[in-house]
Amino acid sequence: MDLANRCFVDTRTDPALPGLVTLPLEVPYRAQLIHATWRQSCQRTQRAGTRQPHAHDVYHIVLVSGGSGTFVIGDEIVAVSGGDLFITSPGDRHSFNALDGEDTEYCELTWEFVNPQGGVLTRPFHEALSAWTGRPCPRIGRARAGAELHLAIMNEIQAIARAGFSQVPDHALVIAEAIARVFMALYTRLHATQPPDADRLLPVQHHIDRHYRELLSLEQLARLCGFTPNYLSRRFKARFGATPIVYQHRLRINAAASLLRTTDHPIREIADLVGYHDVHVFTRSFRSHEGMPPGRYRKERWGPQRA
């Protein structure tokens, strides 16, 4: 099916989508698709003075998929080209019409959030996304979509239009799933807020998670992220609540506690399994973390079942 320059308009009498995109507010709001367009050429307006911005109670995601031209956002004329992404919320003034001579092509998704009484949500999109993800999201009205986000949005809008036009079985569920993936892509690529060096800490955390039984040094871990050992220790503690070495020992003790509660393995064997090759060092470390030696911990946590 050739979808270029085609706009799917959802005309169902009960267009509320399945609850994949439901905002858990005081009253729940569910996403309701209005229309989706895949690779549409902008409607032409011959003179700049006749292109007036407007506002309404719906949300738009508009991705410029090709060509170049201008949009009106608020009262500003904005030059656009492939990869520009715009997100408008209810009340945001805009015009995505093109002037004569412009060849802008775009993909768009238009929807509203509706509650069971038929009321529509008018909060900014970043607040709706924050409610859906449970994470804080900064306001973004315009951004450059990187290659992955650009492709993800285009693919999902194409899937929405294709499912709508073909009326495949459970097409409402297909549409809801695609909208959810668009929202998730926007969250992970644009809205998720992390410290600038957060991604550099993740390889360190993952390495410790996989190799906590082994002898690890701060210098070795620092090489994984390019930090100095002291800076790594400070940044890791600020992010995860403990220095890398303390974090490693917590993993060891958590694993040991689980084995003490659920197995009959001797304490010396458990110490060795989690990376302590000296049972006395293991006992001191376990007492430091759990407030009691491993033998007493096992007796209190598992004694009645063993009896």
Q: What is the pLDDT of residues 28-70, one digit of tens each?
A: 999 999 999 988 876 655 555 567 889 999 999 999 999 999 9
Rounded CA gap, 245 and 130, in Å?
34
Q: What is the pLDDT of residue 167?
A: 80
Predicted pLDDT of residue 9: 78
Give 10-residue mean pLDDT values along the chain (307 residues).
Answer: 63 61 89 89 61 90 93 91 95 90 91 92 93 86 89 92 83 90 90 60 90 94 92 90 93 93 93 94 93 92 54
pLDDT of residue 230: 94
* Nearest alpha carbon to residue 80 among 99, 93, 53: 99
Residue 307: the pLDDT is 39
Residue 95 φ then ψ, to 5°: -150, 125
Check residue 277 and give its pLDDT: 92
Work out the angle at residue 109's Cα, subtended by the Cα atoms of residues 117 and 186, and round it to the nearest 5 degrees. 95
Domains in the chain: boundaries: 6-191, 198-306
**pLDDT of res. 148:** 85
The domain defined by 198-306 carries CATH number 1.10.10.60: yes
Confidence at residue 284, expressed as pLDDT on a 0 to 100 scale: 94
pLDDT (0 to 100) of residue 305:
46
62, β-bridge pairs: 86, 108
- The helix/strand/coil state of 260 is helix
Q: Give, in words, the CATH class of 6-191.
A: mainly beta
Q: Please give the helix or strand (H or E) that residue 39 lies within, else none.
A: strand 29-41
Q: Distance (Å, rounded) from C-alpha 273 to C-alpha 250?
A: 14
Per-residue pLDDT at 306: 47
pLDDT at 59: 96
Whether the model pTM is above 0.75: no
Q: What pLDDT score does 57 carry?
A: 92
Residue 176 and residue 21 in contact, taking contact as beta carbons nearer than 8 Å: yes
